Amino acid sequence: MEEKMIVSSEAGVRVGFEALSGEAQEGVDVRRATAYRFLDEFAAKRTAYYRDPSKLNLKKLLAKDIIMFAARGVTSAEEFVTEAFHACESSSEETVIGNTWQAVVAAISSDTLDTGDMMTVRDGALYVCELKSQTNTTNSSSFPQELRELKDKCEAQRRFRRASNQEVRAAFCVLRDKKAVDEVRTYEPSERDMANRDIAGFQYRYLTGAAFWQWLTGYDSVEGLIDDVTLIHTGDVRAAREECLARLQEEMRAALAEHGLDGSMNSVVALKRLFF
């Protein structure tokens, strides 16, 4: 097996086959090795997140919609802490894992860079890519703005590359989708949609699921790339997560006791009024 290095443009560090332990090297190609390294970094970032009280604390939990949790059937302060903790970590993870996958794709894909915006050269054209984790990360209101920003980025690259006359195209990519879509689309707003007339006629390549992964990496999916999850070095992330939840439960108990409140959801609502 050829042992070569791949440079991560996001982290500015070298990651490659020889970075894995001897046991992990067997049967793992260099692209997979790179992906595992990025996931190791993801786990380390999550560990730091859980152990930093400024990132996740009682005030951040209380900022959530407490009435929504009550309407969902949450009946106690202890249960609220658990549910709000899951909600906070989930929203935080979505951003971090999205950035991680973008860095992975850029690192293992030829002629691809992640400089905040992901760009790749295919068939002589420079593609400026907008990368989303799932189809539901945008809606009918936010999607036109996403396209507008993508259009602006393409125009900036055209100005920058005017001397070389390199063609610049747009690509809207979705990591996870049961459908494998690869087609050129043109945005046409409705007659009533005056706010988005400025992007009428904007063309972009729309790639989702397996079509996206094959286009840039040669694999058919995230799972096709990460074929053995036991090779991910998670370190202390599980313990840090459990410690964080325990700390938040203690913060809730202490705050309730300080203000003479019981462990009901009404007390959580009262506590929120005191915090905000």
**Mean pLDDT lowest among 25-39, 43-57, 205-219:** 25-39
Domain match, 202 and 135 both: yes
Tell me the DSSP string of 205-226.
EEEEHHHHHHHHTS-SSHHHH-
- In this predicted structure, what is the pLDDT of residue 5? 29
CATH (domain of 159) = 3.40.1560
129 domain residue, yes or no = yes
37 domain residue, yes or no = yes
> Does the structure show a pLDDT above 60 at 186?
yes
- In this predicted structure, what is the pLDDT of residue 28? 53
Q: How large is the average pLDDT for residues 171-185?
A: 95
249 domain residue, yes or no = yes
- In this predicted structure, what is the pLDDT of residue 127? 98
The span from the CA of 15 to the CA of 87, in Å, is 32
Domain match, 164 and 255 both: no
Model pLDDT for residues 240-250, shown as the tens digit of each residue: 999 999 999 99
Which of 216, 242, 265 terminates a domain? The answer is: 216
Mean pLDDT of the chain: 89
Within 13 Å of residue 97, how many CA atoms lie on the same side as its CB? Answer: 12
Q: How large is the average pLDDT for residues 231-240?
A: 97
Confidence of residue 209 (pLDDT cuts 50, 70, 90): very high
Q: How large is the average pLDDT for residues 86-99?
A: 91
> Does the structure show a pLDDT above 60 at 224?
yes
Phi, psi torsion values for 165, nearest 5 degrees: 60, 25
Domain match, 249 and 164 both: no
Domain match, 208 and 235 both: no
Domain match, 137 and 199 both: yes
What totals of helices (H) and strands (E) does the chain contain, helices first?
A: 10, 8
Nearest to 247 by CA among 52, 69, 102, 74: 52
Going by C-beta distance under 8 Å and a sequence separation of 6 or more, which residues neighbour residue 31? 6, 108, 217, 218, 219, 225
Nearest to 84 by CA among 56, 106, 126: 56
With a pLDDT cut of 70, the percent of the chain lying above it is 90
Q: Is 27 left (phi over 0), alpha (psi -120 to 50) or beta?
A: left
103 domain residue, yes or no = no
Output the pTM of the full model. Answer: 0.80
Domain match, 77 and 117 both: no
170 domain residue, yes or no = yes
125 domain residue, yes or no = yes
Within 13 Å of residue 1, how many CA atoms lie on the same side as its CB? Answer: 14
Bigger pLDDT: 19 or 224? 224
Question: In the numeric block, which tokens belong to residue 191?
Answer: 């007659």
The span from the CA of 115 to the CA of 10, in Å, is 7
Helical packing angle, 237-258 and 77-108, nearest 10°? 150
257 domain residue, yes or no = yes
SS3 194: helix
- In this predicted structure, what is the pLDDT of residue 16? 39
Q: How large is the average pLDDT for residues 139-156?
A: 94
Domain match, 85 and 180 both: no
Model pLDDT for residues 124-145, shown as the tens digit of each residue: 999 999 999 888 888 888 999 9
> Does the structure show a pLDDT above 70 at 70?
yes
Domain match, 196 and 239 both: no
- In this predicted structure, what is the pLDDT of residue 81? 98
Domain match, 118 and 206 both: yes
The span from the CA of 235 to the CA of 30, in Å, is 22
Confidence of residue 44 (pLDDT cuts 50, 70, 90): very high
Tell me the pairing of strands 14-16 and 5-7. Answer: antiparallel
Domain match, 119 and 192 both: yes
**Mean pLDDT lowest among 72-76, 77-81, 130-134:** 130-134
Residue 260 structural domain: 5-94+229-275
Domain match, 152 and 247 both: no
102 domain residue, yes or no = no
Q: Residue 79 burial (CB < 10 Å; 0-12/13-18/19+)?
A: middle
Q: How many domains does the chain have?
A: 2
Which of 171, 190, 216 terminates a domain? The answer is: 216
Going by C-beta distance under 8 Å and a sequence separation of 6 or more, which residues neighbour residue 159? none
> Does the structure show a pLDDT above 90 at 24?
no
Tell me the pairing of strands 125-134 and 182-187. Answer: unpaired
Domain match, 10 and 80 both: yes
